[in-house]
Amino acid sequence: MRQDLIRENYREEHALYHATMEDFSGFCRGQVDLGDLLRSTGLVFAIVRGNLVLADRSTGDWLAVVLYGQIGSPRQGFEHEAIGMGIQPV
């Protein structure tokens, strides 16, 4: 699943964790909680990696995680679209 985006070391896995939490916070509008609030979701995600400075690999990389989908309440018909994005240096 990782498709060579993340190497198995603490720094890169930690960057992925923080990018995911950052985009999840944006998707949930600041309150990172779904189950306790009985909110339903339907999500699509993407993970992208690139150079911090274009054409200069020595500067390091960035890692972005994006969530997009429907989020709603327990009441049918109150769903809406939401998006969240987190970017971290690697």
The confidence score (pLDDT) of residue 17 equals 92
Q: What is the pLDDT of residue 45?
A: 93
pLDDT value for 40: 72
Predicted pLDDT of residue 26: 86
Domains observed in the chain:
10-89 (3.40.1510.10)
Regions in the chain scoring below 50 on pLDDT: 1
Write down the pLDDT at residue 19.
Answer: 94
3-state SS, the chain, equals CCCCCCCCCHHHHHHHHHHHHHHHHHHCCCCCCCCCCCCEEEEEEEEEEEEEECCEEEEEEEEEEEEEEEEECCCCCCCEEEEEEEEEEC
pTM of the model: 0.78
